[in-house]
Each structure stands twice: as C-alpha cells, then as structure tokens.
C-alpha cells in the first residue's frame, strides 16, 4: 500500500504543537494534540482508516487503490460544534502527488469576533480552497530533525460573511502552507484567515510535528 505521505499503519502516532495568534489581542494561545491510527481495514476498493485525536474527535479516511485518492468519509466531533463543510470530501486527489493543482470545499475555522456585540461570534462559511504543489524538497530540516522526500503545498481562497445586519458582508482571505514528508505525513502547517474588520482581525495557526 503506497501510503507514505499519509501513513495508514495501525498504531502509528503523532504529536503536534499548535500555536494560535490573533492580531486583535496580540496574544498567542498554545496547545498540544496527539493523533493515533486506531484501526486500518482493507476494503474491496482500497483501505479504510480511523484516526483518534486527543480531544476525543474521530476521523475516518478512505484511500482508493488505483487513483490513490484520499478522502475523509466520516467525522465524530466531541466538542458539540460539528462541521459545516462537507463531511465526505477529498483531502488529496493523489497521495503520491502526481497532480499539481486541486480544490477542496472547506469552512472558516479561525475567524472569531472580539468586540461586542460580535464577541465570540464564529462564522462557518463554506468556500472553495485552491491548492497547488509548489515544489518537492529532497531534504527539509525542521526543529533540528532532517526529513527526506517532502512536498511544499500552498493553498488560497476567499469568502465573505455577514456578522451584523447593520453592515455589509465582511471579506476573508485564507492562505495556507503545508510541508508533507515521506513516512510521516504532515510535518508543518500554517493557515491564516484575514479580515479587515477591526472586530475580527487576522488569526494565524501554526501546527508543527513534535514527535
């Protein structure tokens, strides 16, 4: 099974640090998340995988034999917020990365209101995210560790939402970067959601592999 850029091995684990920064507060929020492959099962058309996150969320993926298309097919969210974006969606059209461009339907995750009456308001607008494989990196050094055979992927998208009926729609610009390496998967990810509205500002997430 050619799953080297999204390992399916049962029992495999990852630990990530997550850093959230808000331009409105000027503060950083840090946390850790632990991920484990808890079940891998062979199907007629490919392989099914269930991953458990340390926050209690479950994600089920399916890898097709021929195309090597990786899709998320099921989600169980423990925090009660759920997902607005399609549960069943393509993560990578080919985990061997023979395709250089693709799109994915996603939702806003980071944008949040910081001023009354929009305090803690979180828009969940769905929009199309465009991804492009920018380059292959033979050697990628991160946090003192050397990773081989990596891909650098960028993403961009835009959307808008209405937070207050007294004003018009607010535009959001979304950008992302991913560093994916052989036998590991995601090593580093950066995502930003930027508005020009003072009540929301710009929020950036940085996710980095610890071990």
Could you tell me the maximum CA-CA distance found in the chain, to the nearest angstrom? Answer: 55
Residue the block writes with tokens 């050619």: 2
Prediction pTM value: 0.90
pLDDT confidence of residue 121: 87
What would the pLDDT profile of 124-139 be if each residue is shown by its tens digit?
Answer: 889 999 999 999 999 9
Q: What DSSP string runs through 157-180?
A: EEEEE-S-TTS-PEEEEEEEEEEE
Are 34 and 51 within 8 A, CB to CB?
A: no
Question: From CA 120, how far away is CA 37, in angstroms rounded?
Answer: 33
Residue 172 clears pLDDT 70, i.e. is over it:
yes
pLDDT confidence of residue 150: 96
Return mean pLDDT, the chain: 91
What percent of the chain lies above the pLDDT cut of 90?
A: 73
- Listed in sequence order, the residues at least 6 apart from 97 whose beta carbon sits closer than 8 Å to its beta carbon are 5, 133, 136, 151
Average pLDDT rounded to a whole number, residues 91-116: 91
What would the pLDDT profile of 3-29 be if each residue is shown by its tens digit?
Answer: 689 999 999 999 999 999 999 899 999
Residue 79 clears pLDDT 80, i.e. is over it:
no
CA distances 151 to 18, 71, 135, Å, are: 21, 19, 6
Residue 35 clears pLDDT 70, i.e. is over it:
yes
Are 33 and 49 within 8 A, CB to CB?
A: no
Question: From CA 138, how far away is CA 136, in angstroms rounded?
Answer: 6
Using DSSP's 3-state secondary structure scheme, residue 108 falls into coil
Closest CA to 133 of 174, 102, 175: 102
CA torsion angle 70 73 78 81 (round to 10): 100
Using DSSP's 3-state secondary structure scheme, residue 90 falls into strand
Closest CA to 106 of 191, 166, 196, 14: 191
CA torsion angle 93 100 139 10 (round to 10): 0
Give me the helices (H) in 61-121, please: none
């Amino acid at each position: 099974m050619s799953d080297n850029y999204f390992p399916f091995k049962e029992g495999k684990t990852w630990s990530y640090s997550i850093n959230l920064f808000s331009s409105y507060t000027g503060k950083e929020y840090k946390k850790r998340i632990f991920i484990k492959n808890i079940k891998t099962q062979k199907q007629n058309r490919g392989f099914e995988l269930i991953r458990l996150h340390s926050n209690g969320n479950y994600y089920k993926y399916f890898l097709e034999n021929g195309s090597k298309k990786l899709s998320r097919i099921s989600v169980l969210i423990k925090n009660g917020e759920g997902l607005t974006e399609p549960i069943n969606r393509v993560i990578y059209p080919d985990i061997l990365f023979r395709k250089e461009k693709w799109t994915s339907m996603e939702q806003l995750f980071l944008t949040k209101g910081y001023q009354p009456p929009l305090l803690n308001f979180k828009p969940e607008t769905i929009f199309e995210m465009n991804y492009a494989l920018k380059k292959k990196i033979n050697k990628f050094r991160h946090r003192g560790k050397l990773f081989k055979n990596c891909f650098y992927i960028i993403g961009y998208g835009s959307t808008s939402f209405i937070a207050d009926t007294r004003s018009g729609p607010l535009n959001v610009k979304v950008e992302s970067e991913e560093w994916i390496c052989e036998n590991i998967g995601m090593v580093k990810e950066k995502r930003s959601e930027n508005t020009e509205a003072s009540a929301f500002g710009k929020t950036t997430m940085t996710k980095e592999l610890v071990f």
